[in-house]
Structure 1
Amino acid sequence: MAASRASWLVGVLALAGIVVSLQQTIVIPLVPQFPRLLDADPADTAWVVTATLLASAVATPVVGRLADMFGKRRMLLFCLGTLVVGSVIGALSESLVPLVVGRALQGLAAGVVPLGISLMRDQLPAERLGSATALMSASLGVGGALGLPLSAFVAQSLNWHVLFWAGGALGLVTAALVLTTVPESPHRAGGRFDLLGALLLSATLVCLLLAVSKGGTWGWASATTPTLFVVAALALLSWAMWELRRTEPLVDLRVSRRRQVLLINSASAVFGFSMFAMSLVFPQLLQLPAETGYGLGQSIVVAGLVLAPGGLCMMAMSPVSARISAASGPRTTLMVGAVVVAAGYGLGAVLHAEVWQLLVSSVVISSGIGLAYGAMPSLIMAAVPVAQTASANSLNNLMRAIGTSTASAVAGVLLAQMTTTMAGAEVPTEAAFVVVMVLGAGAALVAMAITVFIPPRRAERAPDPGPAGADPGTAAGGRPAASGTVRHRDGDAGDAVVTLVGPDGATVGRSRTGRDGAFAVVADGAGTADLLVVRWGELSHAERLAGPGPHRRDVLLEPASRRAGGEPSASGSDVRITPTGVARARWGRDRPVLPNGCGRSPGFRAAGSVRARDQRERTGR
């Protein structure tokens, strides 16, 4: 991709992230006014925010899976379309029910950020990917930072419907830019959509988030809240059992439970808790009357403007995050970001008597968030196969959302319980705000501690094959090697996974094709490679390698429908490939081989009782 086109693609996708995150925050300053504006009960108007939260939680993993199956650009446009429709409904609303419906439709657009990151992985060269994904992640903070002062100004000066009309117009412009500048991804996972899995996961998320977000209002000891937690737990268990039985699951739990992916998602959830604490504490401290002794007596507009520089800092830190990741790895970047966030909360807990002190604290916290959020997509993409990028990033975003929802519930309980009476009204004490900030710092440090245990990813570099005609085995120190090119019917297959498998089923070498489809794989262990396996998206190829090598193989990938019998065979007649991947490889008389290095999702299955040596490498990474 040309540099100018790449820049346009990054800019348009980042704009889409900003527009979507803007819609998530524009109504927050209006929440206290909605009972009067909509002539509704205050408890009912809280659904204007809750509906968006629930819709985004359900939509994020579902949209991610559909994007892997049918196209990321297509689902990106679908998300922007629902945002526009929801904005128009909200702009025309004069009562609560249509506004809640419009906000739920806006929540369905929450998958835009993980979809944008996945498209960047598929379209951008490796040297630009780190900074681009960091910028895309930072768009969440930028939209939130701009949304607060903008909506506060509108709430004080204009009709509130203007916010929704503006949101719809921005969505339309962004969709038009996506149509003209963003190409569709060539990577597809294929398969069937797991409807029952989607319903079970939706039931889990709705029950869990309802209990977390509304438990303080309903009462934590009331019958409704514990019942929702129990139903969520049962639905989660049922969903996990169902997904593990599926060959084409909504979320591949075999990949998600891998140590690296599991730890990244856990760190994301804890970090989401830490991030949201600032949004709950700082606006209240800024707006509480000065008579309290710790409130700063500022207007809602000033409060929004104090938080706005933090969002811009998130974007400014995206190239810094990319540079640190390039030099030391995204794992290091995530740890540095967590320490910076903890330092920012520590500063705020000690110094919060002046507006400038909260401004400095919010800038430090936001800078740490920008570092960390830029690293998380890189960690996830390094741990999952290309064909599962969208669903894996969506699950990671979902974990962050669960963390922020938990932060909202915990902070809400603390601020509601630790109160004092001021002018006949109950207001949170200074100690309550300090405790929430300390919890934010502690959550950031816990996220850092979790990150320490994420295994460093070994670099996957294709060895230099040397000058033309050189022996790739000799270039790599004399070990068995294979080189060649991988193509598909429309051109070169860049970023395909190429794996060498030994006679015992263990992976002995792995690499990725370059943008031109070229590869060179060196065996990193003793012995001979007996099988060459290639996976690119939903296409697979496997063939036997006879002799010690080096081997030269040029591979042409074709859809299963183009091969004889619907169950194609590779170059070696004893290797069979199903339409969903390599099902089994067998040679010799009765010797089964489990080539686990390029396996499941969908992947290899054992032709016998041979077990994989390294379960972390089941997806070809």
Structure 2
Amino acid sequence: MATATIEPPAARTSARPNLVIAVLAFAGMSASFMQTILIPIQAKLPELLNAGRDDTAWVITVTLLVSAICTPVSGKLGDMYGKRLVAVVLLSLLITGSVISALSPTVVPLIIGRGLQGTGMGVVPLGIAILRDTLPRERLGSAIALVSATLGVGGALGLPISALVTENFDWHVLFWVAAGLGAVALTAYLLVVPAGNGSLHGRFDFFGAIGLAIGLAGLLLAVSQGNEWGWTSIPTLTWLGVGVIGLIAWGWYELHQSNPLVDLRVSARGAVLMTNLASIAMGFALFSSSIVFPQLLQMPEGAGGLGLTLLNASLILMPSGLAMLAMSPVAGRIERQVGPKPLLVAGAVIISAAYLAAVLLDLNMWLVLVINAVIGVGIGLGYAAMPTLIIQAVPLNETGAANGLNTLMRALGTSIAAAVIAAVLANSANKTATGSVPSESGFELALLFGLGAALLCAILAGLIPKPKPAVAEEPALPEGVLPPS
């Protein structure tokens, strides 16, 4: 049976907390930047790579799949072997994937490189777990808010950077930029972040990791490709079956392990379960606007859009990411005063109000900027609260794995939103001289879906029970080891 050890206080206190926070946040933003790096040239990939559209779709899909699988796995590895060590490995893989992608003339090596880039998303839950290990309680709330927000900030800030690069340079330069960001993050990690130690001993659950990979791959492939394949087609239903059956079998297997990849008994606790369900809903609400607003901004004015270029549209959407960053210290102060649960409820209510305004008002460029920024405020508050709610409800030695699972739940929400909102807009499309474009009713329905997800998040957040103190789950301290400060 796995045993747990407690690190001495010296390993849990950083002499440079501001630098540690900055490095962890930069690493998170660098990893999340990989999610939007190809959006400016996504439609051109078949031409650029001399490949079919089905093949080039994997350039986007593989990053989603790998990042979804990697986050809980890397969290568990961090709990066992040391969080900084695992984060350094992930950043090294991200850099390797970026270099392979930068040198790729064809689609196959690019898919491999993009898969390796997807591993980098594991640094976000690891960063949150490192904060719990290294920072005093009074600094923890705002620091977690900042690192957690990088899941949205990296994409929001990365889109205009990607658009600017692709408009002025060869598309391969995007990946050299990504490699450079990864190299800076890796160097800073090695120089600033304390090494720490693993807190779990025992054998890694390889079969659990394989089972989770199979289940998630099936589910995410069905969700992400359903619009392309058809929701009732044999490939979609087959992969959906593989995903559902695989996850059920994986869950049964995990419940019979002494050191499981994901402790489902801990995950089934009311506070953890409701927080993860709320995370799916908030991820859906976040990504709904990320699909609707770019299309609305770039659609020709004659078709009902606002007629902006990709770069200008990206600049209009960028303040959302800045709002998430700006809310980090505010969220930390609010969390210390009222706790994380009201913070999550408030974030969901703010997002709901923004979507309601988007549905009721006649949108123009400036209204989209303001509404999207308000959504960023709500996301910043919500994403700050979720890791704290998880941390309060799980043992210290499960922090990495539990936050990895929560990050996965947010990603699952964004994946579902991508499929649902794309289907809504596609089904509402009108034929024009330049092709099919979504109708006004399609945009309105998509925004209503975002509103519904935000309201659902608020309801689920309100139902989160008060967690039992996580310290009760931790083993007795060995003789001669002082309790953590």
For the aligned pair, the TM-score class normalised by the smaller chain equals over 0.9
User: Hey, what does 1:35 align to over in structure 2?
Assistant: 46
SS in 2 for 1:31: helix
Q: 1:84-143: per-residue Cα shift (whole Å, max 9, x none)?
A: 000000100111111111000000111111000000000000000000000001122221
| Residue number in structure 2 paired with 1:211 | 222
Unpaired runs of at least 5, structure 1: 461-495, 500-533, 542-554, 559-621
- The one of 517, 537, 556 equivalent to 2:480 is 556
Which aligned pairs between 1:2-401 and structure 2 lie closer than 5 A? 5-292=16-303, 294-401=304-411
Per mean C-alpha deviation after superposition, the further-off stretch among 5-14 and 39-48 is: 39-48
Deviation for aligned residue 1:337? 0.1
Which one-letter code corresponds to 2:349 in the other structure?
V
Residues 185-194 or 117-126, more deviating: 185-194
Task: Please give the secondary structure, in 2, of the residue aligned with 1:298.
Answer: coil
In 1, Cα distance between the equivalents of 2:176 and 2:239?
Answer: 36
State whether residues 14 and 134 of structure 2, in contact with CA within 8 Å, keep that contact through their aligned partners in structure 1: no
Q: Which secondary structure does the structure 2 equivalent of 1:353 belong to?
A: coil
* Distance (whole Å) between structure 2 residues aligned to residue 225 and residue 148 of structure 1: 30
1:145 CA displacement? 1.4
Q: Distance in 2 between matches of 1:327 and 1:104?
A: 41
Q: 2 CA distance for matches of 1:152 and 1:196? A: 41
Q: Is this contact kept in 1: 2:396–2:471, CA < 8 A?
A: no
TM-score, reference length from structure 2 = 0.94
Are the counterparts in 1 of residues 100 and 110 from structure 2 also a CA contact under 8 Å? yes
How far has the Cα of 1:187 moved from its partner? 5.0
The count of residues paired between Structure 1 and Structure 2 equals: 471
| CA deviation vs aligned residue, 1:505-537 (integer Å, no higher than 9, x gap) | xxxxxxxxxxxxxxxxxxxxxxxxxxxxx726x
Distance in 2, matches of 1:102 and 1:344, equals: 37
1:36-83 deviation line (CA, Å, top 9, x unaligned): 111111222111110100111111111111111100000010110011
What SS does the aligned partner of 2:436 have? strand
Q: Is the 8 A contact 2:78 2:198 kept in 1?
A: no
Higher helix fraction (1 or 2): 2
Q: Give the conservation status (yes or no) of the 8 Å contact 2:13–2:136.
A: no
**What do you get for the CA RMSD once the two structures are aligned?**
1.6
CA contact (8 A) 2:97 2:115 kept: yes
Deviation (angstroms), 1:402: 0.7
2:418 alignment counterpart: 408
> Counterpart of 2:333 in structure 1: which amino acid?
R
Offset of 1:498 from its aligned partner?
6.6
**Deviation of 1:29 (Å):** 1.2
Deviates more, 1:37-46 or 1:84-93: 37-46
Where 1:24 maps in the other structure, the secondary structure is: coil
Deviations, residues 224-271 of structure 1 (Å, cap 9, x unaligned): 111111121111111111111111101001101111111111110111
The alignment partner of 1:426 has SS state of strand
Residue identity over aligned pairs, in percent, reads: 48
Secondary structure of the residue aligned to 1:556 is coil
Q: Which amino acid aligns with 1:57?
A: A
Select the structure that is richer in strand.
1
Superposed CA deviations along residues 461-489 of structure 1, whole A, max 9, x for unmatched, are: xxxxxxxxxxxxxxxxxxxxxxxxxxxxx
The structure with more radius of gyration: 1
CA contact (8 A) 1:187 1:386 kept: no
Shift of 1:424: 5.3
Stretch moving more, 148-157 or 197-206:
148-157
For CA contacts below 8 A with separation 6 or more, give which structure has more relative contact order.
2
Matching residue's letter, 2:367: Q
Give, in whole Å, the separation in 2 of the partners of 1:94 and 1:278: 33
The separation in 1 between residues aligned to 2:108 and 2:319, in whole angstroms, is 35
Cα distance, 1:498–1:156 mapped onto 2, change above 3 Å? closer
Give 3-state SS (helix, strand or coil) of 2:363's partner: coil
Deviations along 1:363-386, one digit per CA (max 9) or x if unpaired, are 010110000000100000000001
Please report how far the alpha carbon of residue 195 of structure 1 lies from its aligned counterpart in structure 2 after TM superposition.
Answer: 1.0
The aligned counterpart of 2:475 is 535
**Which residue does the alignment assign to 1:527?**
none
The one-letter code sitting in structure 2 at the alignment partner of 1:361 is: I
Separation in 1 of the partners of 2:215 and 2:14? 43
1:419 to 417, 423, 429: 429
Normalised TM-score (structure 1): 0.74
Contact kept, 8 Å, 1:296 with 1:353, in 2: the verdict is: no
